[in-house]
Structure 1
Amino acid sequence: MTKILMIEDNVELAEILTEYLEQYDMSVTTADDPYIGLSKLNLDKFDLVILDLTLPGLDGLEVCKEIRKTSSVPIIVSSARHDLTDKVNAFDFGADDYMPKPYNPQELLVRIKSLIRRSEGSLSVEKSETNKDLVLNEFEHTITLKGKALSLTVAEFDILSYLIKKEGGAISREELIYNCDAISEESTNKSIDVIIGRIRSKLGEDPKNPKYIHAIRGVGYKLTQ
């Protein structure tokens, strides 16, 4: 069952939407006060939040910001405010969708299902990535091996991150030279081999029986894990 938190001060609308959504195996918890809504979100786990913007005591945009400080739960903003600035700010503050009132409950249902599918897909990818020995985090500019950050030079990072992105594919030395910013286009194949050797050393690889970086005769290298 999909668990939804609806922060909406229009009690009549909340009741109509709740009754409709519950026909489709969705459990809806409502809050007509933003602070109560935030409290419920902290105390329980929800699959999605439907958030009104015009709320008593705390604007919905501020509620959206507060939710994003601690949670990545999908948020659908539902608002009678039609100012483009509100819509832009809602997405800037972390909303996943924006529905101007009035709207048909059937459209709300479709958007909820779409966001839930996307959210489940993201969690699946994230889980599969964290199950691997080598994990690239481009935002933090780190590569971890079994959860421990590797100490890499800029060139080593560029090459290893490129191999991780192309995992399973045979990558030529020339491709590494032209796609890694830290590698000069005047670099030789031999210099790539030297950097690969240093990376292997930091990965604790046995050159005769490597676990991660494999040499492909006549081509270059392939990373598997």
Structure 2
Amino acid sequence: MAQYTVLIVDDDVKLVQLLQTYFNKEGFITYTAGDGLDALIAVRERKPDIMVLDLMLPGLDGYEVCKKIRRDSDIPIIMLTARDEESDRLVGLEIGADDYVTKPFSPKEVVARVKAILRRANKEVIRKEPIKAGGLTIDFERHQVLNGSQEIELTPTEFKLLEILASNAGRVFTRLQIVEQTQGYTFEGYERTIDAHIKNLRRKLEPNPKKPTYIQTVYGIGYKFTGDSNE
């Protein structure tokens, strides 16, 4: 595995040191930040490959950090949260996080999640012709989505989800099938987070997210991509 850089953002010094130990053993270069403002500075100056971000930070919390970063960066973000409510985790995903881990957690699990996301983000692309649907152009080799001539910024998870659906236009995927193909693993409760990623994709891709034409819901089953925006 290539040597990647990870930014760990948490105000719990012992937890940060523990995660550093595990990441360093796996060959990662680690950077750390103890609050939201330092995290924003580290992202700008260090340009890490991925960020592990605690939501409950002093001052600028993790939600605000994530929103600010997503304005101009698609760096993968894994949230760390002690909150048990599913709605809190979904909010984090809706503002642009790629994954989440609920405290208390195994450091090995965090490292495994990070590796899985980096594999998806850096996986060698099998040559595919770009897909055109309505005003969209999905270029797999360039990892790029255009709406007309305007590029649409997607996170690695969002792009992978779109790739799965668009490459199989008309096929209905269950949430579990989407989880397995985007994450490479499953765990209890994660199927619900697919709805948050779909919501983000619709907001970015659809002329009217409330009346989607590209990514359609098949009630009681899951989602499908329609190759014609006028369908």
Match of 1:4 among 6, 25, 29: 6
Q: Distance in 2 between matches of 1:182 and 1:105?
A: 47
Match of 1:78 among 68, 80, 85: 80
After TM superposition, where is structure 1 displaced by more than 6 Å over at least 4 residues in a row? 126-130
- Helix, strand or coil at the partner of 1:99: strand
TM-score normalised over the length of structure 1: 0.57
- Deviations for 1:186-224, whole angstroms, at most 9, x for unmatched residues? xxxxxxxxxxxxxxxxxxxxxxxxxxxxxxxxxxxxxxx
Question: Which runs of no fewer than 5 residues in structure 1 stay unpaired?
Answer: 131-135, 145-164, 167-178, 184-225
Name the residue aligned to 2:53.
51
Q: Distance in 1 between matches of 2:229 and 2:58?
A: 52
Structure 1 residue 126 displacement after superposition: 11
Which amino acid in 1 is paired with 2:92? A
Question: Which runs of no fewer than 5 residues in structure 2 stay unpaired?
Answer: 131-135, 139-144, 151-166, 169-226
Bigger radius of gyration: 1
- Deviations for 1:84-123, whole angstroms, at most 9, x for unmatched residues? 22101011011111100011111111111100001113xx
Q: Distance in 2 between matches of 1:39 and 1:18?
A: 19
- Helix, strand or coil at the partner of 1:70: coil
- Helix, strand or coil at the partner of 2:71: helix
Name the residue aligned to 1:104.
106
Q: Distance in 1 between matches of 2:77 and 2:106?
A: 18
Q: How does 1:126-145 map to 2 (within 5 A)?
A: 137=137, 140-142=146-148
- Helix, strand or coil at the partner of 2:5: strand
Tell me the number of residue pairs that the alignment of Structure 1 and Structure 2 aligns. 146
TM-score normalised over the length of structure 2: 0.56
- Deviations for 1:149-179, whole angstroms, at most 9, x for unmatched residues? xxxxxxxxxxxxxxxx89xxxxxxxxxxxx7
Which amino acid in 2 is paired with 1:34? G
Q: Distance in 2 between matches of 1:9 and 1:66?
A: 19
Structure 1 residue 141 displacement after superposition: 3.8
Q: Percent identity?
A: 35
Q: Distance in 2 between matches of 1:60 and 1:69?
A: 14
Highest RCO, 1 vs 2 (Cα 8 Å, sep ≥ 6): 2
Q: How does 1:1-225 map to 2 (within 5 A)?
A: 1-121=3-123, 125=125, 137=137, 140-142=146-148
Greater helix share, structure number: 1
Structure 1 residue 129 displacement after superposition: 7.5
